[in-house]
Amino acid sequence: MSKKIFSGVQPTGNLHLGNYLGAIKNFVKLNDDKENRCVFCVVDLHAITINQDPKELNNNIRETVATFVACGIDPKKSIIFNQSQVSAHSEVAWILSCIARMGWLNRMTQFKEKAGKDKEKASIGLYSYPVLMAADILLYDASHVPVGADQKQHLELCRDIAQKFNNDFKVDGFFKVPEPLIQKDFSRIMSLKDGLKKMSKSEISDLSRINLTDEKDLIINKIKKAKTDPLPLPENIEDLNKRPEAKNLVGIYSSLTGQTIEKSLNRFSGKNFSQFKEDLSQVVVDKISPISLEIKKLLNEKTYLNKILSEGCKKADDIASKKLKKIHEIVGF
């Protein structure tokens, strides 16, 4: 069955293994399915909810596109563009913010986590960005949205906004209510230094993550220094779940090899981590090294990257502007 897919990635720069296994690997599968129509957005408007260096942000947008292409997303099959260049996103976000309820946004747990203790100093953009996320999705009549556990609540908000708009203006089915696409395999990758923290660029130590631009020797060194415990690898998932660092490394191995956790444990149970890390290093190097080389090559082809963005923006704007025109008519503009 044909699916209309929409998903976005913030241009944070230096995307890592967590981004790849948690999102981009799945994007490639969706892109490769001829039945799907995919829109992959570099969500630069979302990025400015926190302070950004303008020059760095501009470079990061192109690095994100380079990473998409290097990982296997074909810009001829899917639309790749940056959000800020399609003005309908901002306008529809405002219209939908007049539909969304304060109570709904107050329940968003991610704002509480990102704003920290001093919520009074957080930007309005950080508070309301789930409404912009809803606009991103609804503009393209997306039927399915790939989401991780941390974004599922935002998709539920998007569904609520779509249904309320349709009900308020008596336009049943105008906004398509999207369904989540949740990855079945191990996709939440944790820090190499703390199995209870998500792998993140914001963590101070570079040893906590494997960047998609890391070279072979650096990858091997990071895995060698990854935090583990003194016990050999367990025989079953129940015991593995009690050991966060072990669970994370086995999960990475399983995701990259396409094996189940059970199959990986059957192979490595009873072995010590030094043996396992050698095999894991080889698997990560085999997957990441070609991507790293391709990213670096593409970053030297700025004309090509700009062309992908330009063509993608034209295609996205064509879809979004038509939807916006209909929204204007419904609202009364």
Just list the catalytic residues. 114, 198, 201
Residue keyed to tokens 């044909």: 2
Q: Which residues does 121 contact at the CB level (< 8 Å), separation at least 6?
A: 115
Q: Three-class SS string for the chain?
A: CCCEEEEEECCCCCCEHHHHHHHHHHHHHHHHCCCCEEEEEECHHHHCCCCCCHHHHHHHHHHHHHHHHHHCCCCCCCEEEEHHHCCHHHHHHHHHHCCCCHHHHHCCHHHHHHHCCCHHHCCHHHHHHHHHHHHHHHCCCCCEEECCCCCHHHHHHHHHHHHHHHHHCCCCCCCCCCEEECCCCCCCCECCCCCCCECCCCCCCHHHCCECCCCHHHHHHHHHCCCCCCCCCCCCHHHHCCCHHHHHHHHHHHHHHCCCHHHHHHHHCCCCHHHHHHHHHHHHHHHHHHHHHHHHHHHCCHHHHHHHHHHHHHHHHHHHHHHHHHHHHHHCC
